[in-house]
Chains A and B, each alone.
Chain A
Amino acid sequence: MIQALRRDASAYAALAAMTSKRLLAYNIWFWLELFVRTLSITVFVYFWRAVYANTNHISSLSLQQTLNYILFAQVLMPMAQFNLLTYFREIIVEGTIAIELLRPVRFQLANYFQSLAAMATLLFMNIPVALIAWLGFGLQLPASGMVWLCFAISLLLGQIALFFFDWALGCVAFYTHEVWGLGVLRYGIAAFFGGALIPLSFMPPLLQRVAEVLPFRLGMAMPLSVLTGVTPLSQTPRLWLIQLAWILGLGLLSQIVFRVAVRKITVFGG
């Protein structure tokens, strides 16, 4: 039993490690990404300083709170960017899905660990962004370890929820074989309604309601609200419960959608 578990764990770990290696393989892209991210941080900081030039609070957030939020959002940007759409398209169009489904691991679980590794690697690669934001732009890091822990749990829960959502969305590729436009759309919606561009509390009520019925805030705005102290620690268990409820719902949805969609499979060869 224990041996079987150990064997399984090493199989999933190997798959996850592959994803990390792939992302870290191209040095120049890492530096480019860092440069571009620094640039957009610079623009954001100057923009928000100008916004707050004549006022102390907007939607009850001070300049420092807003800057903290926006800067951390830049570090967490991979949460909005990463998705399974291109991967699903690739394995379907190239026909490798036949092999993927035959592997002696659970397809969704294997993919989950790969997407977790991708997320962790991308966040790890964004640590220099956080350093630049901290040293150059006055990002305030929470001192309490408890805040970091609560944030990490919320981030992990958000990542699981978004994984399930993307799993269901990725199934569109079984029908259309072309998902580029959908990917752009998903990124735009995720960044905006996830609260990566502006804090959700700034939005008019109608847009806030839209953000609430979409899952993207689970991976961005919610963990960020813990990290920036907008949600007090005593309130975080309530946040986790909301995230768990979403995970249950989306997990179920992803299973059902995949089961229906996989019957549509056309392997082109390749």
Chain B
Amino acid sequence: MSFSGYLALYWEFLIQRFKILLEYQVNFLIGVASTFFLQATGLLAIWIVMRQVPLLAGWSFNQILLIYGLVTIASSINQLFADNLWIVGSVYIRTSQFDRFLVRPINPLFHLLADRFNQDGIGNLLIGLLLLIKALVALEIALTPLKLLYLIVAILSGGAIFIGLNLLTAVSAFWVIDSVPVTRAIFETHTFAKYPLSIYGRGITLLMTWLIPYGFTSFYPASYLLGRDVGLLAWGGPLAAVTLLLIGYYAWQFGMRHYSSTGS
């Protein structure tokens, strides 16, 4: 099937999904509101601390909001479009629902992702955007066409880095069925990327740049936008994203070849 064919198909899946959402409007609102609330308490804590200490390793409150906003948007893209990677093992493989994907004439990975657009990510996306806009305005960052393009590419790369890492870890489901512990162990390290990497030691900075490159979802693009010199690393995001997606997809195909149905 062609790319536009898949795009049209995704749209069909999305419409079905929204029909379900309209059935459960209250749950949808509760989901968005609670995400909003949890993020707000975390931010409130940072605000309270930075009321008393104006700079954190040379970063102001608004500059930290920029970092926080960027990583929140990137993770919300993952949550919206690839949340099923979390449950591929525990829900799809364990119950043999996954077999359904294998007999259809479309890419099973596409089918898995399109099967559930996760609306709970909308809350995170809104918060991320709010923080980003607030930070850009407060820091008086002029968005030239080049910077705007950079920002869009950085955000999309950030989302792809989250998806790539989750894909890579979700593949373990083909062997251990429940892949949530593996995925969560890697996913949770993105907490480091909510603050400037410069507050950590060298080891964590290297880890977040070269091994689990969440640094490219927030710290490096924020540094570039603020005119801080991080060298070529400012442009590393798209590279990290493409690499991770490729490795993830190969691992996925490798896993598929070793898939045997649980038969339940």
Interface residues of A (CB under 8 A from B): 28-29, 31-32, 35-36, 39-40, 42-43, 46-47, 49-55, 58-59, 178, 180-181, 184-185, 187-189, 191-192, 197-198, 202-204, 207
Contacts and interface: CB of A to CB of B under 8 A. Distances in A.
A198 B194 CA distance: 17
A188 B185 contact: no
Contact of B195 (A31, A47, A189, A192): A47
A202 B48 contact: yes
B42 interface: yes
29 contacts: A29-B181, A35-B185, A36-B188, A39-B188, A39-B191, A39-B192, A43-B195, A47-B195, A50-B56, A50-B195, A51-B56, A55-B53, A58-B49, A59-B52, A181-B27, A181-B30, A184-B38, A185-B34, A185-B37, A187-B38, A188-B34, A188-B38, A189-B41, A192-B45, A202-B48, A203-B48, A204-B48, A204-B51, A207-B48
A259 to B, nearest CB: 28
B62 interface: no
Given A49-B199, A180-B30, A58 B52 contact: yes
Contacts of A185: 34, 37
A202 to B, nearest CB: 6
Contacts, number: 86
B67 to A, nearest CB: 13
Interface of B: 26-27, 30-31, 33-34, 37-38, 41-42, 44-45, 48-49, 51-53, 55-57, 181, 184-185, 188-189, 191-192, 194-195, 199-201, 204
B199 A32 contact: no
A53 B198 CA distance: 13
A50 B199 contact: yes
Specify the main secondary structure of chain A where it touches its partner: helix
Nearest to B192: A43
A265 B57 CA distance: 56
Nearest to A179: B30
A53 B57 contact: yes
B41 to A, nearest CB: 4
Question: Nearest 10 CB-CB pairs, A to B?
Answer: A181-B30, A184-B34, A50-B199, A192-B41, A197-B45, A32-B181, A50-B57, A188-B38, A50-B56, A46-B200
Nearest to B180: A32
B59 to A, nearest CB: 9
Given A32-B185, A50-B57, A184 B41 contact: no
Contacts of B51: 204
A192 B38 CA distance: 9
Nearest to A35: B185
Nearest to B178: A28
Nearest to B197: A46
Contacts of B52: 58-59, 202
A78 B57 CA distance: 31
B86 to A, nearest CB: 13
B252 to A, nearest CB: 22
A252 to B, nearest CB: 29
A253 to B, nearest CB: 24
Contacts of B48: 198, 202-204, 207
Contacts of A188: 34, 37-38, 41
Nearest to A176: B26
A191 B57 CA distance: 26
Of A40, A42, A52, the most chain B CB neighbours within 10 A belong to: A42
Contacts of A51: 49, 53, 56
Contacts of B33: 181
A47 B37 CA distance: 22
A29 to B, nearest CB: 7
A191 B42 CA distance: 10
